[in-house]
Structure 1
Amino acid sequence: MTIYKTEAEVALMKEAATLVSKTLTEVAKVLKPGMTTLQIDKICAEFVRDNKAVPSFLGYRGYPHNVCTSVNDVVVHGFPNNVALKDGDIVSVDMGVILNGWHGDHAYTFILGETSEDVLQLVRVTKESLYKGIEKAIVNNRVGDISNAIQEHTERKYGYGVVRELVGHGLGRNLHEDPQVPNYGKKGNGPKMKENLVLAIEPMINMGTRDVFIAEDGWTVKTRDGKPSVHFEHDVCIKRNKALILSDYSIIEAAEKANNNLNTSYYQ
């Protein structure tokens, strides 16, 4: 069942989404080679709790950590661990919070130090595709319009692999609500969108094949060919002429640019 929100509920969801953005900003301030993803997990958990919210991933369907940290060929759902990050790694941090009964849930991919032009392009194009999808997130469009815009920009234009097994989703009092939002599809297909539907739109794009597999831990999703994958995600509210983005990348980007250990050379 698709659940539409009131304006007051959208305002509360914006607070939750913004807290996720602020938490990812704390990561952007300090992330550097030599850190571990378990340290990222600890930073996020403490910041969320200090802001009177709850990390929503911890314990969700048995997930054992506060955030997902996906490095290089890990697509999503990577477990934080004690392996030191190194120069050239790309790290996606995906996390959620529950604040005042409402969920915020989004992700951002960081580049540590120097990397190849191929990786820089993959990060740039994946981030661009997120906004291409958001442009279609308006009243009377269909979910397939979002899906098609992401696929067109990544798979058809650049030949990247669009992951099929994992999709975006509705968001609200539950972490996952209807409808599902694939990153591939046809224009005009799928449910018609009405005002104040809130979606988590999240392209997961592989440099090589779209094929993935789940590691032995039952959670970590990796690319079948071992090539890098990138993940960006925004929380978005459907409106009449232009989608309302509830999350805030601007504060993450400002911290990212100020951190000399992070590579933002792909910015246009």
Structure 2
Amino acid sequence: MDFQTIDLSIEDDIARLTLNRPDVKNALNAQMRAEIPAAIRIAQDNARVLVMTGAGDAFCSGQDLGDGSGAVNLDIERVLRDEYVPMLRAIFDCPIPTVSAVNGAAAGAGANLALAADVVIATESAVFLQAFSRIGLVPDAGGTYWLPRQMGMAKAMGAALFAEPVPARQAAAWGMIWEAVPDADFSQHVARRAVHLATGPTEAYRLTKQALRASMANDLETQLALEAQLQGKAGATRDFSEGVLAFLEKRVPDYQGR
């Protein structure tokens, strides 16, 4: 499939989705919002991990305010409902592990696009910015969902109201992202993380995602029952048998993702 605003490559069970509008800091236009879910569907059927990053020196600057009829005339509610929701659900519902490799600034909807992934790894020079209040808007693209869950209500409220950049190291300390990595080591570090996930027990990863997300709404009894159910499924996989055998034989397991 030919894409105009993104690049998708798949090699060694690793899918790499690159937002590719570097001239506008990879701002999200309608075409990109349509292409991202399409690329994710291809990735989840042909790879065991998805890495999403940005071309150039930014991850994503958010909504392209010059797209179409312009920001002032934009039917924001329709765009969020019909274009952003499918894009974010595609990332959130992706059955394979998803990694946002934030190579530079992630602002507005671009920040929340990054936070939709299972794991966020950023360069130390990257910043996350909830820029919405600067133009009289509220956080969208899932921001009001991700932020309180990832770094608590107090930090989420401050980030939204003050619209100040959060440096990557601070974001990691607050729990917004998984880790901040020195810029010089970033590419190799993300590659190692991707290989780890691409060669791991893929079905166990899928079930882990399901369990952790359900825990936010479940009481203890319900969650314990869900754990037992999902663990039963994990225990029936080939990878579980291989993991136990490798442990007993003191060797590295050869997981096949099934």
Of Structure 1 and Structure 2, which has the larger fraction of its residues in strand? 1
Superposed pair shares fold, TM > 0.5 = no
* TM-score (norm. length: structure 1): 0.25
Q: Which has the higher contact order (CA 8 A, sep 6+)?
A: 1
* TM-score (norm. length: structure 2): 0.26
Whose Rg is larger? 2
Of Structure 1 and Structure 2, which has the larger fraction of its residues in helix? 2
